[in-house]
Chain A
Amino acid sequence: MEEGVNFFLDRYAQLGEKFPEKINIKPALRVNTLRISDDELFSRLEKLGVKLSKILWLRHGYQIENSKFSLGAIEEFLLGYYYLQEAAAQSVAEILDPKPDEVVLDCCASPGGKTTQISQLMQNKGAVIALEKKSHRLLSLRNNIERMGCSNVAVYHMDAAKAVQLGIKFDKILIDAPCSGNYAGDEKWFSKRRIEDIQRSAQIQRSLINTVLDALKPNGILVYSTCTLEPEENELNMHWLVENYKVKLEPIDISIGDKGLTDVFGKKLHDSIANCRRFWPHKTGTEGFFIAKVRKL
């Protein structure tokens, strides 16, 4: 049967990984430099008895070592001084590296963690076009954009597969794709997923990449990310992309994570897949993640 704990653990073993029984992911936050400096926030939270430690591979990311209360309801949170955002998730916008004079598309924006981070990295200049297909997710997105003080974001209720209908081309595009998730973020993951779900997810992701690429300028950058460990949604999708489109997988300058897999279940993939990054939770101490940086030629 192509489901269940043993099925998936066996897959990961074939990819060379053996998991411990339990993985502890520490919560993390990102300082919102549109409103406050790292030092100021650190000092304020320290006075409240919150212990943070700097995540060295992130610009404004901190691990929450100790807190006697929830950080999701205090004044500093409500004033938009930080965003509760997992460490691997914070790396995506940093890899996209958006510049203040650029026009950036965020395809699957809600609830706005990466959207607001992109805005922050652009120092509220240029433009971030944030798309969200599901109407019930729009409120959270808009709330977070407001809370974080983003002034360079426009939100559209639309399916990113129709991004060309916006009528403009983008310098950079982020596809933080809907995916099958991973067990580090969901302890019931193994009982919920079957191989057919993963294959269906991969098809949806390919369809999205296919249409969104048309909205990217030549020489523009597309960052594709998922929070799944399944190669069908990650390396195999990138192999399909490289084989079928005029693109190049760029190296990713980050000191954490493994290289993308170039040998998946006996299938040899394009060498450049090694430029992608794979976050195995038991190695990085983060959520499972996959990130690819693609240049349109």
Chain B
Amino acid sequence: MMKFIAQFTKQKLFDEALVRRIGNDFFLVQPDFGLIIKKIKLPPLHAGLYLGREEEKTAKPSLDLLQMLAKSDAKKVWLNEKGAWMFICRRPALEKSVVRTEAKSREIVLVMNESDECIGYGVFEGKGVKNYFDIGDFLRRERRARRT
């Protein structure tokens, strides 16, 4: 997870000593909360602020990690309303949707909407943005959960 973050910024987003791993998932566990959980004799599936999941070749950041990254010096691309919606539907962002960019071609970027909220990340391809991850993933996970 720290390698994933390092792709965007060298800035310290949080105290790394507070990061806990459960399987492939990462959490930020505040000390007071951690003390309580330590007293419980069973292992949790989830504990603290969810940061994201490491997968084989990539990572799926949580909503909170995306917003933390958005406050850093990570490179960003801003999309208009239609572009943002299409991006959340797992599409790439087309050139005509990009209203502003800080990135150069082939740079990894955070994708922002016009309200300055991070809706995902991808690679800036000089004109548009290739979609690597977007917050619409929540709904896709929910649909998969309903099918099982």
Contact = CB atoms under 8 A, between A and B. Distances in A.
Contacts of B48: 151-152, 154
Given A147-B63, A147-B138, A166 B40 contact: yes
A168 B47 contact: no
A143 B135 contact: no
A152 B50 CA distance: 10
Nearest to B148: A136
Contacts of B62: 146
B63 A146 contact: yes
B30 A157 contact: no
Nearest to B30: A151
A99 interface: no
**How big is chain B's contact interface, by range?**
35 or more
Given A103-B36, A127-B33, A139-B145, A78 B49 contact: no
B95 interface: no
Given A75-B88, A79-B135, A142-B46, A151 B40 contact: no
B141 A143 contact: yes
Interface in B114-134: 117, 119
B interface, over-half SS: mixed
Contact of B63 (A125, A127, A149, A167): A149
A73 B88 CA distance: 10
A80 B40 CA distance: 29
Contacts, number: 96
Contacts of B40: 129, 154, 156, 166-168
Given A75-B84, A166-B41, A168-B40, A152 B145 contact: no
A140 interface: yes
A247 interface: no
A94 B3 CA distance: 41
Contact of A156 (B30, B36, B42, B148): B42
B117 A79 contact: yes
A204 interface: no
B50 A146 contact: yes
B33 A157 contact: no
Given A146-B50, A149-B49, A154 B37 contact: yes
Interface string B81-93: 0001100100000
A166 B40 CA distance: 5
Nearest to B118: A79
A165 interface: yes
Interface in A69-114: 73, 75, 78-80, 103
Contacts of A165: 41-42
20 contacts: A75-B84, A75-B135, A78-B119, A78-B136, A78-B138, A78-B139, A136-B145, A139-B141, A139-B142, A149-B49, A151-B33, A152-B33, A153-B47, A154-B47, A155-B44, A155-B45, A165-B42, A166-B41, A167-B39, A168-B39
Interface of A: 73, 75, 78-80, 103, 125-127, 129, 136, 138-140, 142-143, 145-147, 149-158, 165-168
Give 10 closest A-B pairs by Cβ, nearest first. A151-B49, A155-B46, A139-B145, A154-B47, A127-B36, A167-B41, A154-B44, A146-B50, A78-B135, A155-B45
